[in-house]
Protein backbone atom coordinates (compact mmCIF):
# COMPACT_ATOMS: atom_id res chain seq x y z
CA UNK A 1 0.00 0.00 0.00
CA UNK A 2 1.44 3.43 -0.92
CA UNK A 3 2.69 5.58 1.94
CA UNK A 4 0.76 8.82 2.65
CA UNK A 5 3.64 10.94 1.34
CA UNK A 6 3.52 9.07 -1.96
CA UNK A 7 -0.22 9.65 -2.23
CA UNK A 8 0.32 13.37 -1.72
CA UNK A 9 3.09 13.42 -4.32
CA UNK A 10 0.86 11.54 -6.77
CA UNK A 11 -1.87 14.16 -6.38
CA UNK A 12 0.71 16.88 -6.95
CA UNK A 13 2.13 15.13 -10.02
CA UNK A 14 -1.31 14.60 -11.54
CA UNK A 15 -2.18 18.27 -10.94
CA UNK A 16 1.01 19.28 -12.74
CA UNK A 17 0.27 16.81 -15.51
CA UNK A 18 -3.11 18.45 -16.08
CA UNK A 19 -1.40 21.82 -16.49
CA UNK A 20 1.11 20.35 -18.94
CA UNK A 21 -1.54 18.70 -21.10
CA UNK A 22 -3.77 21.77 -21.06
CA UNK A 23 -1.06 23.86 -22.73
CA UNK A 24 -0.22 21.26 -25.39
CA UNK A 25 -2.81 22.50 -27.86
CA UNK A 26 -1.33 26.01 -27.87
CA UNK A 27 2.41 25.52 -27.71
CA UNK A 28 2.95 28.19 -30.36
CA UNK A 29 1.74 30.82 -27.89
CA UNK A 30 3.64 29.58 -24.82
CA UNK A 31 6.08 32.11 -23.38
CA UNK A 32 9.62 30.69 -23.33
CA UNK A 33 12.74 32.19 -21.74
CA UNK A 34 16.36 31.07 -22.23
CA UNK A 35 17.78 30.77 -18.68
CA UNK A 36 21.26 30.14 -20.04
CA UNK A 37 22.64 28.91 -23.33
CA UNK A 38 20.37 26.12 -24.64
CA UNK A 39 18.55 25.92 -21.28
CA UNK A 40 14.93 26.95 -21.62
CA UNK A 41 12.04 27.46 -19.23
CA UNK A 42 8.43 28.03 -20.21
CA UNK A 43 5.38 29.36 -18.45
CA UNK A 44 4.22 25.73 -18.40
CA UNK A 45 7.21 24.68 -16.26
CA UNK A 46 6.47 27.48 -13.81
CA UNK A 47 2.73 26.86 -13.64
CA UNK A 48 3.23 23.11 -13.15
CA UNK A 49 5.79 23.69 -10.40
CA UNK A 50 3.45 26.08 -8.60
CA UNK A 51 0.73 23.40 -8.62
CA UNK A 52 3.12 20.82 -7.19
CA UNK A 53 4.39 23.05 -4.40
CA UNK A 54 0.88 24.18 -3.52
CA UNK A 55 -0.26 20.57 -3.13
CA UNK A 56 2.81 19.48 -1.17
CA UNK A 57 2.75 22.49 1.15
CA UNK A 58 -0.86 21.82 1.99
CA UNK A 59 0.18 18.49 3.49
CA UNK A 60 3.71 19.33 4.64
CA UNK A 61 3.98 23.06 5.38
CA UNK A 62 7.15 22.68 7.47
CA UNK A 63 9.16 20.79 4.84
CA UNK A 64 11.76 22.42 2.59
CA UNK A 65 11.31 22.57 -1.18
CA UNK A 66 13.80 22.62 -4.04
CA UNK A 67 12.25 23.29 -7.42
CA UNK A 68 14.08 23.54 -10.72
CA UNK A 69 12.38 26.82 -11.50
CA UNK A 70 11.73 28.44 -8.11
CA UNK A 71 14.87 27.37 -6.27
CA UNK A 72 14.90 26.44 -2.58
CA UNK A 73 12.43 27.57 0.03
CA UNK A 74 12.70 26.58 3.66
CA UNK A 75 15.37 24.60 5.48
CA UNK A 76 15.47 21.31 7.30
CA UNK A 77 16.28 17.62 6.91
CA UNK A 78 13.09 16.85 4.93
CA UNK A 79 13.14 18.32 1.44
CA UNK A 80 10.96 17.85 -1.63
CA UNK A 81 12.93 17.97 -4.89
CA UNK A 82 10.83 18.86 -7.92
CA UNK A 83 11.21 18.87 -11.69
CA UNK A 84 7.81 20.01 -12.94
CA UNK A 85 8.52 19.21 -16.59
CA UNK A 86 11.53 17.00 -17.27
CA UNK A 87 11.95 17.05 -21.02
CA UNK A 88 11.04 20.69 -21.66
CA UNK A 89 12.90 20.69 -24.99
CA UNK A 90 10.82 17.70 -26.15
CA UNK A 91 7.60 19.27 -24.92
CA UNK A 92 8.13 22.62 -26.65
CA UNK A 93 8.80 20.86 -29.95
CA UNK A 94 5.77 18.59 -29.64
CA UNK A 95 7.88 15.45 -29.05
CA UNK A 96 5.74 13.18 -26.81
CA UNK A 97 8.31 12.26 -24.19
CA UNK A 98 8.39 14.21 -20.91
CA UNK A 99 7.32 13.81 -17.31
CA UNK A 100 6.84 15.24 -13.82
CA UNK A 101 9.43 14.18 -11.23
CA UNK A 102 9.02 14.54 -7.45
CA UNK A 103 11.15 13.09 -4.65
CA UNK A 104 11.30 13.57 -0.89
CA UNK A 105 14.75 13.48 0.70
CA UNK A 106 15.56 12.87 4.36
CA UNK A 107 19.04 14.24 5.14
CA UNK A 108 19.82 13.91 1.43
CA UNK A 109 18.59 10.31 1.14
CA UNK A 110 15.63 9.70 -1.22
CA UNK A 111 12.68 8.27 0.69
CA UNK A 112 9.71 8.70 -1.66
CA UNK A 113 9.52 9.12 -5.41
CA UNK A 114 6.93 9.79 -8.08
CA UNK A 115 7.57 10.11 -11.81
CA UNK A 116 4.48 10.73 -13.90
CA UNK A 117 4.16 10.60 -17.69
CA UNK A 118 0.86 12.41 -18.32
CA UNK A 119 0.63 11.47 -21.99
CA UNK A 120 0.83 7.73 -21.37
CA UNK A 121 -0.74 7.97 -17.90
CA UNK A 122 2.20 5.97 -16.56
CA UNK A 123 2.78 6.54 -12.86
CA UNK A 124 6.08 5.32 -11.38
CA UNK A 125 6.13 5.34 -7.56
CA UNK A 126 8.44 4.18 -4.83
CA UNK A 127 9.00 4.33 -1.07
CA UNK A 128 12.30 3.35 0.50
CA UNK A 129 12.10 -0.30 1.50
CA UNK A 130 8.72 -0.87 -0.18
CA UNK A 131 9.74 -1.52 -3.79
CA UNK A 132 9.04 0.35 -7.01
CA UNK A 133 5.85 0.26 -9.07
CA UNK A 134 4.47 1.26 -12.44
CA UNK A 135 0.80 1.92 -11.76
CA UNK A 136 0.01 -1.27 -9.79
CA UNK A 137 2.77 -3.49 -11.21
CA UNK A 138 5.97 -4.22 -9.25
CA UNK A 139 9.11 -3.22 -11.12
CA UNK A 140 12.41 -5.07 -11.45
CA UNK A 141 15.54 -3.93 -13.23
CA UNK A 142 16.76 -5.99 -16.17
CA UNK A 143 18.63 -9.23 -15.57
CA UNK A 144 21.41 -8.77 -18.12
CA UNK A 145 24.76 -9.87 -16.64
CA UNK A 146 27.12 -8.13 -19.06
CA UNK A 147 27.20 -5.20 -21.45
CA UNK A 148 26.90 -7.58 -24.38
CA UNK A 149 23.62 -6.76 -26.06
CA UNK A 150 22.58 -4.19 -23.46
CA UNK A 151 20.20 -1.34 -24.27
CA UNK A 152 21.53 1.77 -22.52
CA UNK A 153 20.34 5.36 -22.24
CA UNK A 154 22.17 8.64 -21.84
CA UNK A 155 21.88 12.38 -22.36
CA UNK A 156 24.22 15.08 -23.59
CA UNK A 157 23.70 17.91 -21.12
CA UNK A 158 23.79 21.49 -22.33
CA UNK A 159 25.29 22.59 -19.00
CA UNK A 160 28.38 20.38 -19.44
CA UNK A 161 29.29 20.74 -23.11
CA UNK A 162 32.93 21.23 -22.09
CA UNK A 163 32.96 17.49 -21.28
CA UNK A 164 31.20 16.41 -24.47
CA UNK A 165 34.29 14.80 -26.02
CA UNK A 166 34.86 12.74 -22.87
CA UNK A 167 31.27 11.54 -22.79
CA UNK A 168 31.40 10.68 -26.48
CA UNK A 169 34.52 8.60 -25.78
CA UNK A 170 32.64 6.73 -23.06
CA UNK A 171 29.65 6.29 -25.36
CA UNK A 172 31.85 4.97 -28.16
CA UNK A 173 33.50 2.45 -25.82
CA UNK A 174 30.16 1.23 -24.47
CA UNK A 175 28.82 0.80 -28.01
CA UNK A 176 31.55 -1.73 -28.77
CA UNK A 177 29.56 -4.13 -26.54
CA UNK A 178 26.06 -2.72 -26.07
CA UNK A 179 23.24 -3.34 -28.51
CA UNK A 180 22.45 0.37 -28.67
CA UNK A 181 22.27 3.63 -26.75
CA UNK A 182 19.18 5.83 -26.64
CA UNK A 183 19.09 9.57 -25.99
CA UNK A 184 15.48 10.43 -25.13
CA UNK A 185 15.73 13.91 -23.60
CA UNK A 186 14.32 13.10 -20.15
CA UNK A 187 16.70 11.90 -17.43
CA UNK A 188 13.86 11.11 -15.04
CA UNK A 189 12.08 8.88 -17.56
CA UNK A 190 15.38 7.22 -18.51
CA UNK A 191 15.82 6.24 -14.87
CA UNK A 192 12.20 5.12 -14.55
CA UNK A 193 12.62 3.01 -17.68
CA UNK A 194 15.81 1.52 -16.22
CA UNK A 195 13.86 0.59 -13.08
CA UNK A 196 11.23 -1.03 -15.31
CA UNK A 197 13.79 -3.03 -17.30
CA UNK A 198 13.04 -1.16 -20.53
CA UNK A 199 16.63 0.09 -20.47
CA UNK A 200 19.42 -2.02 -19.02
CA UNK A 201 21.36 0.97 -17.74
CA UNK A 202 21.76 4.73 -17.80
CA UNK A 203 24.63 7.22 -17.54
CA UNK A 204 24.96 10.98 -17.79
CA UNK A 205 27.20 13.88 -16.84
CA UNK A 206 26.21 16.90 -14.77
CA UNK A 207 22.68 16.14 -13.64
CA UNK A 208 20.92 18.24 -11.01
CA UNK A 209 19.17 16.86 -7.90
CA UNK A 210 15.73 17.29 -9.47
CA UNK A 211 16.86 15.30 -12.53
CA UNK A 212 17.93 12.20 -10.64
CA UNK A 213 16.54 11.97 -7.08
CA UNK A 214 13.22 10.28 -7.86
CA UNK A 215 14.62 8.02 -10.58
CA UNK A 216 17.51 6.81 -8.45
CA UNK A 217 15.15 5.64 -5.72
CA UNK A 218 13.05 3.82 -8.32
CA UNK A 219 16.14 2.03 -9.64
CA UNK A 220 17.31 1.01 -6.16
CA UNK A 221 13.88 -0.20 -5.08
CA UNK A 222 13.57 -2.16 -8.32
CA UNK A 223 16.67 -4.14 -7.34
CA UNK A 224 19.33 -2.02 -9.02
CA UNK A 225 21.94 0.42 -7.83
CA UNK A 226 23.48 3.77 -8.74
CA UNK A 227 26.90 5.37 -8.31
CA UNK A 228 29.03 8.19 -9.60
CA UNK A 229 31.62 7.50 -12.31
CA UNK A 230 34.13 6.25 -9.72
CA UNK A 231 31.67 3.76 -8.23
CA UNK A 232 30.83 5.73 -5.08
CA UNK A 233 27.34 4.95 -3.79
CA UNK A 234 24.69 7.55 -3.04
CA UNK A 235 23.25 10.49 -4.92
CA UNK A 236 26.30 12.00 -6.62
CA UNK A 237 26.95 15.63 -5.73
CA UNK A 238 28.72 15.95 -9.07
CA UNK A 239 25.60 14.85 -10.94
CA UNK A 240 27.71 12.29 -12.81
CA UNK A 241 25.54 9.20 -12.63
CA UNK A 242 25.52 5.52 -13.57
CA UNK A 243 22.42 3.42 -12.80
CA UNK A 244 21.69 -0.21 -13.67
CA UNK A 245 21.57 -3.64 -12.08
CA UNK A 246 24.39 -4.91 -9.87
CA UNK A 247 26.17 -6.58 -12.79
CA UNK A 248 26.20 -3.67 -15.22
CA UNK A 249 27.09 -0.80 -12.88
CA UNK A 250 30.62 -2.15 -12.20
CA UNK A 251 31.08 -2.79 -15.92
CA UNK A 252 30.01 0.76 -16.77
CA UNK A 253 32.22 2.19 -14.01
CA UNK A 254 35.19 0.34 -15.55
CA UNK A 255 34.45 1.91 -18.93
CA UNK A 256 34.19 5.33 -17.29
CA UNK A 257 37.58 4.80 -15.66
CA UNK A 258 39.12 3.86 -19.02
CA UNK A 259 37.71 6.79 -20.99
CA UNK A 260 36.99 9.79 -18.75
CA UNK A 261 39.45 12.41 -17.47
CA UNK A 262 40.30 12.54 -13.74
CA UNK A 263 38.18 15.66 -13.23
CA UNK A 264 35.01 13.66 -13.96
CA UNK A 265 36.10 10.65 -11.88
CA UNK A 266 37.03 12.64 -8.78
CA UNK A 267 34.04 14.98 -8.82
Domain boundaries, the chain: 4-138, 151-266
Q: Rounded to whole angstroms, how far apart are CA atoms 131 and 139? A: 8
**Architecture, CATH, for domain 151-266:** 3-Layer(aba) Sandwich (3.40)
Q: Rounded to whole angstroms, how far apart are CA atoms 37 and 18? A: 29
Residue of 26 and 100 predicted with greater confidence:
100
Q: Which of 99, 12, 110 is nearest to 56 (CA)?
A: 12
* Crossing angle of the two packed helices 164-175 and 248-259, in degrees rounded to 10: 130
Strands (E), 38-120: 39-42, 64-67, 71-73, 78-86, 99-106, 109-117
Query: Contact, 125 vs 11, CB < 8 A?
Result: no
Phi, psi of 147 (to 5 degrees): -70, -15
**Architecture, CATH, for domain 4-138:** 2-Layer Sandwich (3.30)
Whether residue 240 is predicted with pLDDT greater than 80 in this model: the reply is yes
- Label residue 159 by pLDDT band (50, 70, 90): low
Bridge partner list, 242: 203, 227
Whether residue 134 is predicted with pLDDT greater than 60 in this model: the reply is yes
With H, G, I as helix, E, B as strand and everything else as coil, classify residue 165.
helix
Amino acid sequence: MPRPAVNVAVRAARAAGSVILRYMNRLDSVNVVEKQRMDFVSEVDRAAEAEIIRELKRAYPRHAFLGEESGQTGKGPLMWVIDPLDGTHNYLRGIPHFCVSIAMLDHGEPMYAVIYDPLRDELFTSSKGDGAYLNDRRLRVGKRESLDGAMLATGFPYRQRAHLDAQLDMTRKLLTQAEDIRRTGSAALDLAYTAAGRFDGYFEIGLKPWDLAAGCLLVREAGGTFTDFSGRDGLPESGNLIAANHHLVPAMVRVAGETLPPILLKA
